[in-house]
Chains A and B, each alone.
Chain A
């Protein structure tokens, strides 16, 4: 116990950082190798368990396909109109002109309390703390929280320490998407009078400078109806499949703002 407290104290003042970095450099190839060996088995286990779910989901997707085709036609018309408006307002797409670096997930934090993954890119590759991380489909995954010479830790948006300034793309209602211990996302501080519906898309708002605006976080899956509460309680399902991540993109061209006190 005493050794543990001593190590904790030394780690807190940064004395053990070189040890941690070197050990990760040594162990990362081993972890990578083990994951490569285990991946086929994990795929089989996952597929077997998913068979019944897949059948049900297939039916659900057929129905939704029909609905989406109709909505697609309507959205094409709206997109044309929006492009005209964006040109007028000079609004940029969040991912336009951004640079990305692909990285592979090599490890996860060993406790179930935290949602943090390690990637195989680090300081030598230009990774810095605070850089947003997205999937290849541009869904928000998390942010770089700790950087080593050749690896980095990414705190996922479902981690309890994560808080992302966000808004609903439909109603523009603002809030903060925070991770919970149940691996779901809770959109907090949403005004009671805001229009929130199941299925609404939640995106980053850019407020606070931690993320560029417009990155898709997820969809609303539940809306609390208790008018006694100060704010509405909104549950959000992340768009990125965070438990099955293998490859991510680090937005290396985005530097989070460090705002000073007013």
Chain B
């Protein structure tokens, strides 16, 4: 989690797609939820949110609020015995991106620092959702591969 947070704050801004960087922690948590299930994500999400709050410009707690819907998504994913599908992961990523960024917008508005929400949605949030989905695929596959490897070595 710490590495993902530090990468998101310091390195990812150097690798933007059309000026946009992915929400690495958010995508990582969604992929982790879909592959590894709710039990691990239940602890990882608040830890990740707290760490992100320590290194970003926003008030502490903003990231936590933005990641809160993961709890709801954990219920949606359900107690599937096999890893969650990629389609559900994509849908979760888009939904989380929208909520996450609108949570930041809401906090900015409360602090008197926000612009036009409609413009933010069309110019930033929706394109960011696409970027996040693009980053989701390699992360999802990597976690899936690591998860299967761990299971195989546990059974061996």
- Residues on A lying within 8 angstroms of B by beta carbon are 1, 3-12, 16, 19-20, 23-24, 27, 30-32, 34-35, 37-39, 42, 45, 106-114, 116, 118, 146, 153, 160-161, 180-183, 243
Q: Report the separation of the CA atoms of residues A10 and B59 in the bound assembly, to the nearest whole angstrom.
A: 9
| Contact assessment for A34 and B61 in the assembled complex, using a CB-CB cutoff below 8 Å | no
| Contact assessment for A10 and B116 in the assembled complex, using a CB-CB cutoff below 8 Å | no
| Contact assessment for B116 and A111 in the assembled complex, using a CB-CB cutoff below 8 Å | no
Task: Give B103-142 as 1s and 0s: 1 = Cβ < 8 Å from A's Cβ atoms.
Answer: 0110110010111100110011101100000000000000
23 pairs of residues in contact across A and B, judged by CB atoms under 8 Å: A1-B64, A4-B63, A4-B64, A7-B50, A8-B60, A11-B61, A20-B54, A27-B54, A27-B55, A31-B55, A35-B14, A37-B11, A108-B9, A110-B52, A110-B57, A110-B63, A111-B58, A113-B120, A114-B108, A118-B57, A160-B113, A160-B120, A243-B16
Main secondary structure of the interface of B (DSSP, over half): helix
Residues of B within 8 A of A35 (CB): 10-11, 14
Contact flag A106-B10 (CB < 8 Å), given A8-B65, A45-B15, A243-B19: yes
Interface residues on B, range: 35 or more
Which 10 A-B pairs rank lowest in CB-CB distance, beginning with the nearest?
A7-B61, A4-B64, A160-B115, A31-B10, A8-B61, A4-B65, A23-B54, A11-B59, A42-B14, A1-B68
Residue of B whose beta carbon sits closest to that of A33:
B10
B21: CB under 8 A from chain A?
A: yes
| Contact assessment for B68 and A8 in the assembled complex, using a CB-CB cutoff below 8 Å | no
Q: Report the separation of the CA atoms of residues A161 and B58 in the bound assembly, to the nearest whole angstrom.
A: 13
Q: Report the separation of the CA atoms of residues A153 and B56 in the bound assembly, to the nearest whole angstrom.
A: 10
Q: Report the separation of the CA atoms of residues A31 and B11 in the bound assembly, to the nearest whole angstrom.
A: 8
Residues of A within 8 A of B101 (CB): 111-113
